[in-house]
Chains A and B, each alone.
Chain A
Amino acid sequence: KQEVTQIPAALSVPEGENLVLNCSFTDSAIYNLQWFRQDPGKGLTSLLLIQSSQREQTSGRLNASLDKSSGRSTLYIAASQPGDSATYLCAVHTQGGSEKLVFGKGTKLTVNP
Chain B
Amino acid sequence: NAGVTQTPKFQVLKTGQSMTLQCAQDMNHNSMYWYRQDPGMGLRLIYYSASEGTTDKGEVPNGYNVSRLNKREFSLRLESAAPSQTSVYFCASSEDIRESQPQHFGDGTRLSIL
Contact = CB atoms under 8 A, between A and B. Distances in A.
Given A42-B108, A44-B90, A98 B59 contact: yes
Interface residues of B, number: 25
A93 B92 CA distance: 14
Contacts, number: 56
Interface residues on A, range: 20 to 34
A104 B103 contact: no
B33 interface: yes
B45 interface: yes
Contacts of A34: 102-103
Q: Please indicate which of the listed interface residues A31, A34, A44, A103 has the most CB atoms of chain B within 10 Å of its own CB.
A: A44
A98 B101 CA distance: 17
A113 interface: no
8 contacts: A34-B102, A43-B108, A46-B103, A49-B102, A98-B57, A98-B59, A99-B58, A100-B48
